[in-house]
Homo-oligomer: A and B are copies of this chain.
């Protein structure tokens, strides 16, 4: 089927490529002309601006936005709002906060424009392997864009079937899920990323314990110098902690056992923070997911004010300070 794609970065460009390889027709636009031209040279129809993109699509249109969450997505939506018509569909495939989806969909609905949010996981691996997608919106609209979704999804592959799924929605086993009303796709993707933080932190703590086992502070016969690359690799085989994140860890350690080329400052994105806020709104304890987020905050704190406070208090009750005990 025909689709417009706005935003041709690593994700958006590869989405276009995967769709075209399967025979879909893509009209594409990026604010950087060379990105538009690059995809045009691979078979897409390039557009010079949003108006041109809309003009080149047959009504009712389908436009997939693959832009950084926040102002750019918001501005583009506002522009499209003015030039799209009834029964057109906007798909937001970026990392949008789900409450923004709900608000926007309500505004667009007044003009009869449909809105679908698609939480998309897969990174650059997606081009060849497909994208895991979590989708929010009206079922009729999600059905309408099914040819697109089915192409982008990984498909069943050789992953073992889960017993007991007979009679359930087969889309899910192909790697895409209609989660519920607008916003629910990005909500599920948000929690996915929150879990990702927790899993990563669990591995990081465990490997830290393994690494420090050679510490000079320990009794000599209780010290081990463990080969962390080998530990990660052996756990990939039949152990309970095998996972894709472990595969990546094994890969990183294989060529650099101390990971010295990697940053000690760890970024965090909106999803990790929103997950904790959602937990708090729901009164759900999220100890592990919070701890994972806080470790990243801590990694970027050069000032260490709270640690200074602890030192100040210790100094105080150690008695060097002129303050009377009660």
Interface SS of A by simple majority: helix
Q: Which of A53-61, A75-83, A292-300 contacts B (4 or more CB under 8 A)?
A: A292-300
- Taking CB atoms, residues of chain B closer than 8 Å to A209 are 191, 194, 275, 278-279, 282, 284, 286
Question: What chain B residues lie within 8 Å of A134 (beta carbons)?
Answer: 231, 234
Which of the residues B249, B275, B310 comes within 8 Å of A201, measured between beta carbons?
B310
A203 lies within 8 A of B195 (CB): yes
Contact size range, A: 35 or more
Please tell me if the beta carbons of A218 and B153 are within 8 angstroms of each other in the complex. no
Complex contacts, A304 vs chain B, CB 8 Å: 264, 299
Known: A132-B239, A163-B251. A287 touches B294 (CB 8 A): yes
Expressed in whole angstroms, the Cα–Cα distance for A218 and B235 within the complex equals 34
- Output the least CB separation between A9 and chain B (Å): 12
Nearest-neighbor residue (CB-CB) of A325 within chain B: B125
The answer to whether B201 and A198 have CB atoms under 8 Å apart is yes
Which one of A15-23, A42-50, A63-71, A180-188 contacts B? Answer: A180-188
Q: For the complex, give the distance between the alpha carbons of A308 and B234 in Å.
A: 21
With both beta carbons as reference points, the residue of chain B lying nearest to A293 in the complex is identified as B280
B residues within 8 A CB of A225?
180
Q: Is the pair A280, B276 in contact by a Cβ cutoff of 8 Å?
A: yes
Closest residue of chain B to A242 (Cβ to Cβ) is B244
Complex alpha-carbon distance, A225 and B325, angstroms: 30
In the complex, whether A151 has a CB less than 8 A from a CB of chain B is no
Quick one: which of B172, B292, B320 contacts A233, CB cutoff 8 A? B172
Q: Does A72 contact B (CB under 8 A)?
A: no
